[in-house]
Amino acid sequence: MYSHGVRLFCLAMCLPLRLSLATDNSYYSAGVVEYADETGTSKERVTKATAGFVTLIESNDASDLDILVFPEHVLNNGDYATFVPDPEEKITPCFSPDYELFFVEISCATRARNIYVVINVVEKELCGKDYGSDALNPCPASGVRLFNTNVVLDRRGRVISRYRKTHLWRREYYSMAVMRQPDLITFETDFGVTFGHFICFDMLFYEPAMRLIFEQNITDIIYPTYWFSELPFLSALQLQEGWAFANNVNLLAADGSNPGKRTTGSGIYAGRSGRQVAAIYQQPTVQLLKARLPKRSLGGVADPEVLPAFQPQSTTARHTGLLTYRDYNLDVFRTALLPADFVNESQRLCHGSFCCNFQVERRPIPSAAEYAAYRYRLAAYFSNETTFILVDRSEQAVCAVFACLDEELASCGRIFPDHIEVANRYYFEHIRIEAVFPAARRRLIMPSTLDGSMRPLPVLQFNWTEMPSAQLLSETQVQLELLQPKNDLLTFGIWANYYSQVPTTHNLDHLQPIVLNARSSSVAIESTSSFCLLLLALILQLR
């Protein structure tokens, strides 16, 4: 907080702006909101969400923040879509009420609280033959197209940044437009940090997420999301922390909260220092999470999460209220089922020429024999016969240990339901996984870990080694090692995204390639040849 003298000086000068609220100028104060879906009609949902957002912005809990991020999808809808001004116009909706009321109210609340606020909205834009954005989608007959859009408001409530989602989720493609060239959007703040931002599914693609890091050198990312968790590799916190760790960036992730429909998990992460705060819920929840993050340009360093002393436990916390998808990619992995009573396994498992080396050690825990217990498989994979949650093509390389309900591969990527009592009959004393990952111009290799509470392991609990470090154009040897024993594990592995460049058309008419049949091609060739001969004859006559 301010010193008393600085506070008096600011009041005396009547300045509306303030310094960063972090006590050390090498840090800034960030907040993310997990927010549950409102209920009722379209109008009622927007009205309730607006009131909820304003209450959080104006709350005492937000008074010490520099920036506050809200999740995707929970504020408005197509019935109450709003125009969003171009940031170059420097418009403040609070005193330019040409927009939906919710937008005006949030702009005013932001100005009153004097912080930066990021919201996600359904944006509308007029379009026609000679006007509107350069979108992939044809302009609808209504002359109005919709975008899934992040909007950043500065301390005055002014629109300073706008990002339109590039990679939509399933049926979003039927109602939302996508820019022909992905937005690559950044914004500067008065506390000395430049942010990039994108939305939800964008995290799994090279554009814009990785371009922000590699081309713009962005170290701080804003990430509104409404994530649908999938096991064993793509649950919400697991992906957020792994992505931030692999890129060594600060990440502010705000998620919707609907665990019964697979959505929950928000957090604030400091790259290789791991999460500063993160939470995942079993019931719809509204919660503000806050943390202090280092300003990378000033050399600030975050503290990793402190590890408690290990104690073997036969029963541990389980998050069974979160519904999850199963990763059907597992069915094409090369896997090996481990014995139910194994204590020491060393194996080399290969998928084609890509090989993973495993060493896994366990120790028994006295437990009730009648309780269910997970079985475990080793897995190796490197190819492009996979998808991201059945939505887009992917190319992945994976070395992992993951849990299964029984000896069948089809039971992997699932958890025991709440009514089944589960025990840890063994704890994991040590795991080491090693592999050499092929070189690629587009590649991200990350740790992928998860326990029964749907949280990734703290960064101090494992060791991560890359040799050579961060060299895309050379093969990279990676080692992941469990340093402190762990009672329960759902996933412990190395997960690499090779960013497939094969497009997915999503069954959309306007994305389908046009293929001429043989007769049409022949006619086209004959017509072109005839035209060329006629043109040549005319040229000869003129000579």
Q: Just list the catalytic residues.
A: 72, 165, 200
Cβ(336)–Cβ(389) below 8 Å = no
Q: How far is CA 165 from CA 47, 75, 93, 472, in A?
A: 24, 16, 22, 27
Helices (H), 282-350: none
Q: How far apart are CA 179 and CA 187, in angstroms?
A: 19
In this structure, the number of other CB atoms found within 10 A of the CB of residue 277 comes to 16
Residue carrying structure tokens 């919710």: 102
Q: How far apart are CA 354 and CA 70, in angstroms?
A: 41
Q: How far apart are CA 219 and CA 186, in angstroms?
A: 11
Q: How far apart are CA 431 and CA 263, in angstroms?
A: 30
- 3-state DSSP call for residue 212? helix
Q: How far apart are CA 226 and CA 311, in angstroms?
A: 35
- Burial class from Cβ neighbours inside 10 Å (0-12, 13-18, 19+) for residue 32 reads buried
Q: Classify 3 in phi/psi space as left (phi over 0), alpha (psi -120 to 50) or beta.
A: beta
In this structure, the number of other CB atoms found within 10 A of the CB of residue 432 comes to 15
Q: What's the helix, strand, coil split of the chain in %, to 5? A: 25, 35, 45
